[in-house]
């Protein structure tokens, strides 16, 4: 049967084996995606904590005069 413009072919029915295989692959892919997401979140969190510690250390070692100057700066309109 040839297809004419405007017609469509009905979808080919899938077997139980194909359906089960697709389900298994989806589960594996979902597990992989979750693992990648957890790794990315862990890396982000550890980097954020490292930067936070560096900032806090820098703020505590800052001289009081420099801290006072930084706080007293005001914009002149």
Instruction: Give the CA angle between residues 71, 76, 77 to the nearest 5°.
Output: 140
* pLDDT for residue 49: 97
- Output the pTM of the full model: 0.52
- Per DSSP, helices labelled H in the chain are 16-61, 64-72
Q: Does residue 11 carry a pLDDT above 60?
A: yes
pLDDT mean over 16-22: 95
* pLDDT for residue 9: 84
């Amino acid at each position: 049967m040839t297809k004419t413009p405007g017609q469509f072919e009905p979808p080919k029915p899938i077997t139980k084996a194909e359906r089960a295989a697709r389900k298994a692959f989806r589960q594996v892919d979902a597990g992989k995606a979750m693992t990648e997401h957890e790794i990315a979140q862990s890396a982000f969190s550890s980097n954020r904590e490292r930067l936070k510690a560096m900032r806090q250390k820098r703020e505590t070692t800052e001289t009081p005069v420099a801290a006072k100057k930084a706080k007293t700066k005001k914009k002149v309109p």
